[in-house]
Amino acid sequence: MAGVAVSTTINGDSVEYLCQPDETLLDVLRDRLGLTGAKEGCGTGDCGACSIILDDRLVCSCLVLGAEAEGRRVETVEGMAHGEKLHPLQQKFLEHAALQCGICTPGFLIAAKDLLAKNPDPTEEEIRFGLAGNLCRCTGYDKIVRAVQDAANVMKGA
């Protein structure tokens, strides 16, 4: 199989790669580019562990082909912190212990980032609905919701 040559932007950097036509963007990120933040939970768009932002839209990278990223903008969890300085969401997830095993965390962080970008002052219900596409089997969600609320307050004040 001939590879597909792709030029794209990931976390602000121009990136070029070759991928197979049936290879998902998740596999490209993890296996070809070493960006292992996005996780494969289900591989069928149900768990949200592979969430990324593609041209300002939250998507599951397991449901996107690597070839489709041509000319587009990809944001992953690796782009959230600035050097040593964590994104407020990351900081609040730590402070609220909003994670245990951590597999779902990058997906939650990206989904929460997208949520707050579109709705900087969400209600608890809006947060719960907004994050319904992300599954966590450890924390039971309450700590995650509180971390997102706290981060929203910090970001509003910034």
* CA gap 147, 112 in Å, rounded: 10
130 binds another protein per the rule CB under 8 A: yes
- Which span (8-16, 31-39, 47-55, 147-155) binds another protein, by CB under 8 A? 47-55
Q: Residue count at the site for another protein (CB under 8 A)?
A: 33
| Of the residues 31, 68, 86, 100, which one makes contact with another protein according to CB under 8 A | 68
Beta-carbon contacts of 99 under 8 Å, excluding residues fewer than 6 positions away, are: 93, 105, 108, 138, 139, 144
| Of the residues 9, 31, 32, 43, which one makes contact with another protein according to CB under 8 A | 43
Written as six digits, the tokens of 97 are 């212990």
14 binds another protein per the rule CB under 8 A: no
Helix (H, G, I), strand (E, B) or coil at 139: coil
* CA gap 120, 24 in Å, rounded: 31
Written as six digits, the tokens of 152 are 């929203």
* CA gap 68, 4 in Å, rounded: 10
- CB closer to another protein out of 56 and 95: 56
| Of the residues 10, 29, 35, 58, which one makes contact with another protein according to CB under 8 A | 58
Binding residues for another protein, per CB under 8 A? 1, 4, 20-22, 24, 43-46, 48, 51, 54, 57-60, 62-65, 67-68, 70, 111, 114-115, 129-134
